[in-house]
């Protein structure tokens, strides 16, 4: 099932990230943001994914282990969304250097996490 979940997460993340990876506003925003801002966006996107997963699973199944499994699932979704966003940015060559590529990846990961977590809601 890991391969099915990985593919589902990849498709969800690609759907959300694709529209933002090719947007000039994202390129300009990533060039202006400092490290604390990038960290805040990264934490916010992880927490958004965790919230979507946790509350959907809590609604369907109450369990003591629900938080633990939701945290692991959120980490999976975040990592796959980050890798997918990096692939999109590399594929479209929107960043001239590595630091800017990482900044763009973190920003594009935010909508990618939301769509991947939403896909998880639909199929869970």
Quote the pLDDT of residue 71: 86
Q: Which tokens is 38 given?
A: 């990038």
Quote the pLDDT of residue 38: 96
Quote the pLDDT of residue 69: 79
| pTM given for the model | 0.88
Mean pLDDT, consecutive 10-residue segments, the chain of 124 residues?
A: 81 93 92 96 95 75 64 92 96 93 96 90 70
d(CA 97, CA 83): 17
Backbone angles phi and psi of 96, in degrees to 5: -75, -25
Quote the pLDDT of residue 67: 65
d(CA 44, CA 119): 19
Q: Which tokens is 72 given?
A: 């692991």
Quote the pLDDT of residue 91: 94
Whether residue 26 contacts residue 20, with contact meaning beta carbons closer than 8 Å, is answered with yes
- In this structure, the dihedral spanned by the alpha carbons of residues 77, 48, 11 and 62, taken in order and rounded to 10 degrees, is 70
Q: Which tokens is 84 given?
A: 């997918």
Helical segments of the chain, H only: 2-21, 24-32, 35-60, 66-92, 98-123
Quote the pLDDT of residue 53: 85
């Amino acid at each position: 099932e890991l391969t099915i979940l990985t593919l589902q997460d990849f498709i969800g993340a690609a759907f959300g990230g694709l529209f933002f990876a090719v947007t000039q506003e994202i390129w300009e925003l990533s060039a202006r943001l400092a490290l604390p801002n990038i960290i805040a966006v990264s934490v916010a996107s992880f927490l958004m994914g965790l919230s979507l997963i946790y509350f959907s699973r809590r609604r369907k199944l109450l369990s003591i282990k629900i938080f633990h499994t939701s945290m692991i699932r959120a980490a999976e979704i975040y990592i796959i969304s980050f890798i997918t966003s990096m692939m999109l940015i590399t594929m479209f060559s929107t960043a001239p250097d590595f630091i800017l590529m990482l900044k763009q990846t973190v920003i594009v990961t935010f909508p990618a996490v939301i769509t991947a977590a939403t896909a998880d809601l639909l199929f869970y």
